């Protein structure tokens, strides 16, 4: 694995001005049971921010305010869960706000810029056109990264769509990392005010794998990527050090946490580079301490929030006085979660086809609900809703190829089963 990554990440000796010491104040916002929560990186303090459900993809501005999707609309909240202003629609939020793009998936993974003025996100689009080679009409699906102002709906062309790229992560308030999981340059730096396809190449995937998502610390010295090996069901969370600003500097790999290709979800890095938080699918939010020179030990990536997802670091500490209502009604996560027996995985999963309709049936363990995602290779295509013991799936917008529905049972205490998958093909 190391030889694979070293061909992509420059491993020349780098001396960083990172001095070991006490980490600066910071916090992590995350999702659990459909609501937003805040926690200190050590898990000693935390509380539930919202209680009405249907929240997702949170992030923090440097002033400590929170941005997240409520359904498909972007909302701005203070740290007590009070909304600040009205909802902001994004492309894909509804039919009215899509501009010239036909969004079939999204909005996805919105993240606020450090200064709170812009949102970066992405959508999956579909276009139809005449193919002159076959003299036939073909449909094309495409990832498009977009920027929006945080105070109003922003048409795609105002700040410029970034075609064939996804999973944006801010470097500063004007530039973001963008990822391509196809044949273009794998990782680029996007200019949020540069217009259409304003991108500077940074790291190329070559033939050995590709980065799918990532983040850079606010101080610009630590970077973390989800990296998947080509031709293998193997994934890595790679942590690296930067000796200078991207794209002039390439990261020096310092360690990696290894797993399967679907294990890791987009990481987030503490503002001072002292830790990396990430979601490990089917388990929860883990935190990996990072020391001087971005050195890290994979074995220290401990489970912080069982059943948590979509973590996002910010530079403001957790203040329990800001907890909404009675803080005791929203218990803080603990630094060392109690060990609980994992529920059994859903069993008997199978795919039933009737015409164009695809139904996945399964048996859920007693006392659990089932979380399901649709995967194409190593990529999450969409989150699915399980109703009873079945999931109905529309093939609309899906390209030809092999797919998998990954099922995870979630118990009432938030503990999760090992994931199980059922596979099918779209022809």
Omega cis (within 30) before 247 = yes
Token pair for 115: 């200064």
pLDDT at position 128 = 62
95 exposed, middle or buried (CB, 10 Å; 0-12, 13-18, 19+)? Answer: exposed
| Edge-to-edge order in the sheet of strand 390-393 | 347-354, 357-363, 390-393
Distance CA 311, CA 331 (A): 18
Could you give the residue ranges of the DSSP H alpha helices within 124-218? 156-159
Which string of b and e fits 66-92 if b means at least 16 CB within 10 Å?
A: bbbbbebbbbbbebebeeeeebbbbbb
User: pLDDT at position 328, please?
Assistant: 41
Q: What is the C-alpha to C-alpha distance for residues 274 and 293, in angstroms, rounded to an integer? A: 10
How are the residues of the chain apportioned to helix, strand and coil, as percentages rounded to the nearest 5? 5, 50, 45
pLDDT tens string, the chain, 427 residues long: the values are: 444 444 434 332 232 333 334 457 899 999 999 999 999 999 999 999 999 999 999 999 999 999 999 999 999 999 999 999 889 999 988 766 665 666 678 899 999 999 999 999 999 887 665 666 676 666 667 899 999 999 999 998 899 999 999 999 999 999 999 998 776 678 899 999 889 999 999 887 565 677 889 999 988 899 998 988 766 667 889 999 988 776 677 788 888 898 887 789 889 999 999 999 999 998 999 999 998 777 888 888 999 999 999 999 999 999 999 999 754 444 444 443 334 456 788 899 999 988 778 999 999 998 888 888 787 765 667 878 788 899 988 888 888 888 888 888 877 766 667 777 888 888 8
Residue 6: per-residue pLDDT:
45
List the chain domain ranges: 2-6+24-329, 347-426
Kindly report the backbone phi and psi dihedral angles of residue 358, in degrees, each rounded to the nearest multiple of 5, phi listed first: -120, 125
Instruction: Write down the pLDDT at residue 51.
Output: 92
Omega into 107 within 30° of 0, i.e. cis?
A: yes
Q: How far is CA 252 from the centre of its chain?
A: 23
Q: Model pTM?
A: 0.70
**Can you list the alpha helix ranges (DSSP code H) found in 98-180?**
156-159
Q: What pLDDT shows up at residue 17?
A: 33
CATH entry, 2-6+24-329, from 3.30.300.30, 3.90.1330.10, 2.120.10.30, 1.10.3720.10: 2.120.10.30
- The CATH number assigned to the domain with range 347-426 reads 2.60.40.10
Q: What is the Cα gyration radius of the chain?
A: 21
Contact 164, 145 (CB under 8 A): no
Asked if 265 contacts 226 with a C-beta cutoff of 8 angstroms, the reply is yes
Q: Which two tokens stand for residue 326?
A: 């009675």
Q: Nearest CA to 285 among 294, 275, 293? A: 275
Residues found in the chain: 427
27: CB partners within 8 A, 6+ apart:
38, 39, 40, 41, 60, 313, 314, 316, 317, 318
The dihedral built from the CA positions of residue 217, 264, 103 and 373, taken in this order, carries a sign that is: negative
């Amino acid at each position: 694995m190391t030889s694979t990554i070293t061909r992509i990440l420059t491993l020349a000796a780098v001396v960083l001005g990172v001095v070991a010491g006490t980490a600066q104040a910071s916090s992590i916002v995350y999702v659990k049971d459909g609501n937003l929560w805040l926690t200190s990186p050590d898990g000693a303090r935390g509380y539930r921010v919202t209680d009405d459900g249907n929240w997702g993809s949170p992030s923090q501005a440097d002033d400590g305010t929170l941005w997240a999707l409520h359904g498909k609309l972007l909302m701005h909240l203070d740290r007590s869960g009070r909304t600040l202003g009205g909802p902001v629609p994004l492309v894909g939020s509804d039919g009215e706000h899509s501009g010239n793009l036909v969004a079939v998936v999204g909005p996805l993974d919105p993240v606020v810029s450090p200064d709170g003025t812009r949102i970066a996100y992405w959508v999956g689009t579909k276009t139809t056109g005449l193919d002159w080679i076959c003299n036939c009409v073909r449909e094309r699906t495409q990832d498009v990264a977009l920027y929006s102002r945080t105070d109003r709906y922003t048409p795609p062309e105002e700040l410029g769509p970034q075609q064939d790229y996804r999973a944006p992560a801010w470097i500063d308030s004007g530039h973001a990392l963008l990822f391509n999981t196809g044949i273009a340059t794998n990782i680029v730096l996007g200019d949020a005010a540069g217009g259409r396809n304003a991108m500077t190449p940074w790291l190329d995937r070559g033939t050995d794998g590709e980065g799918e998502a990532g983040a850079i610390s606010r101080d610009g010295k630590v970077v973390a990527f989800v990296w998947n090996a080509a031709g293998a069901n193997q994934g890595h969370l790679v942590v690296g050090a930067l000796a200078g600003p991207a794209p002039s500097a390439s990261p020096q790999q310092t360690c990696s946490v290894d797993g399967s290709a679907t294990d890791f979800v987009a990481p987030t890095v503490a503002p001072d580079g002292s830790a990396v938080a990430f979601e490990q699918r089917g388990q929860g939010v883990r935190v990996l301490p990072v020391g001087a020179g971005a050195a890290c030990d994979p074995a220290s990536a401990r489970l912080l929030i069982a059943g948590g997802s979509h973590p996002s670091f910010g530079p403001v500490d957790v203040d329990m006085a800001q907890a909404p209502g009675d803080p005791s009604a929203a218990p803080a996560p603990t630094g060392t979660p109690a060990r609980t027996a994992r529920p059994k995985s859903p069993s008997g999963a199978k795919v039933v086809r009737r015409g164009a309709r695809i139904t996945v049936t399964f048996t859920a363990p007693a006392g659990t609900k089932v979380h399901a995602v649709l995967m194409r290779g190593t990529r999450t295509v969409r989150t699915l809703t399980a109703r009873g013991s079945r999931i109905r799936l529309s093939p609309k917008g899906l390209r030809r190829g092999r797919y998998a529905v990954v099922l995870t049972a979630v118990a009432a205490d938030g503990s999760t089963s090992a994931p199980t998958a059922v596979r099918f093909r779209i022809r």
